[in-house]
Amino acid sequence: MVSPTLSDVAQAAGVSYATADRVINNRGNVAQKSIDKVREAVAALGYVRNVAAANLSRNRVYRLAFLIPTGTNAFFNRIRNHIRHAAEHLSVDRITVEIIDVSAFSVDALEESIADLAQRDVDGVAIVGLQNPLLEGPLAKLRESGVAVIGLVSDLPQKFRSAYIGIDNMVAGRTAARMTGMAHAGGLGAIQTFVGSMEARDHAERLQGFCDVIAADYPHLTVLDPILTKDDPAVLKEAAGAVLSARSNVTAFYNVGAGNSGLVAAIGAAPENRPFCVVHELVAHSKQALIDKHIDLVIDQRPDIEVNRAFAMLRALLDERDLPPMPDLMPTIYVQDNLPADPLIDIAEAQSR
């Protein structure tokens, strides 16, 4: 069966081809009566807009931006590399990509960057978000200016974005708790947690999921108040070293965020006191720490998949198509026995130095 064409739509609606084209591609300057006729014809014929042809005829370029935290975070360097690699492959589809650096965990810096985007020539943006009402105003203005907005890795206030790309961080925290509880084999213990920032939704949700499981299923274990680190390796090294040197009853470490190179350094300096240790994100130093048996478990969120999904989601939003079906992205558990070969991990680590 031959698919209906735009000419068929125009004929059925009793309008010119140019008018039908303007309605289908949202170009404006068409009377409401004609718009209604074209839309009725589209529904009756089952016409499906050819997005690629429309974009080619309009010489359209997708102008995308990614707001990514700065710092010595190897995970976000890994994200940057995946964005660049994906952008190279997508350049033939007339996609331009800009990576905008934003100070990590700074609400003021993120607010300023979002406000600045509304004044720039950008079609869609993926933002590593924070949970703060100060972001709501600039996000609303950005969307009012026609920019498609999605949250990436760490979500934005939900009413002010179209989608979120990332793992279920409650599930990630619950997974970390399950592994930690099983490792204690019914024995008593205390778990020291480390958090970058409670304003980062992914951090807050991971910690909540972790505490929920320990309280429900491992009540013989105590979760100590989190130590805030801003994902700074130096802060994490000092804090973990102080816990280890105190020779307390701490039997496990759980780092909700980044800065794991500092945690590994502290553990490596006191191997005789090493607690069971769970961290997030597989990068070069966490991979090596598994090999060296300084940590036990890495929970990874597969940033390559997240970046690819972000591109697909933004294109669908800009083309006004239904959002692509995307099954839940489950975190991956790595131990020293199932480590993958990934050159981008080593590249990201080298760039973080």
Domain ranges of the chain: 6-57, 62-166+303-326, 169-300
Alpha-carbon distance of 98 to 67, in angstroms, equals 9
Neighbours of 100 (CB within 10 A): 17
* pLDDT tens by residue, 282-330: 999 999 999 999 999 999 999 999 999 999 999 888 887 777 788 889 9
CATH topology classification for 6-57 = 434 Repressor (Amino-terminal Domain) (1.10.260)
Arithmetic mean of pLDDT over the chain: 88
Buried b (16+ CB within 10 A) or exposed e, 278-310: bbbbbbbbbbebbeeebbbbbbbbbbbebbbbb
* Residue 345 clears pLDDT 70, i.e. is over it: no
Alpha-carbon distance of 182 to 350, in angstroms, equals 35
Alpha-carbon distance of 278 to 295, in angstroms, equals 7
Domains 62-166+303-326 and 169-300 share a fold: yes
Which CATH number is 62-166+303-326 given? 3.40.50.10550
Confidence of residue 348 (pLDDT cuts 50, 70, 90): very low
Confidence of residue 228 (pLDDT cuts 50, 70, 90): very high
Alpha-carbon distance of 105 to 103, in angstroms, equals 6
- What's domain 169-300's architecture? 3-Layer(aba) Sandwich (3.40)
The mean per-residue pLDDT over the stretch 232-236 comes to 95
3-state SS, residue 241: helix
Alpha-carbon distance of 280 to 176, in angstroms, equals 9
* Residue 60 clears pLDDT 70, i.e. is over it: no
For tokens 């961080």, name the residue: 169
Buried b (16+ CB within 10 A) or exposed e, 329-348: bebbebeeeebeeeebbebb
Q: Which two tokens stand for residue 323?
A: 């959002």
Residue with more model confidence, 114 or 7: 114
Confidence of residue 1 (pLDDT cuts 50, 70, 90): low
pLDDT value for 350? 47
pLDDT value for 352? 47
* Residue 47 clears pLDDT 90, i.e. is over it: no
* Residue 220 clears pLDDT 70, i.e. is over it: yes
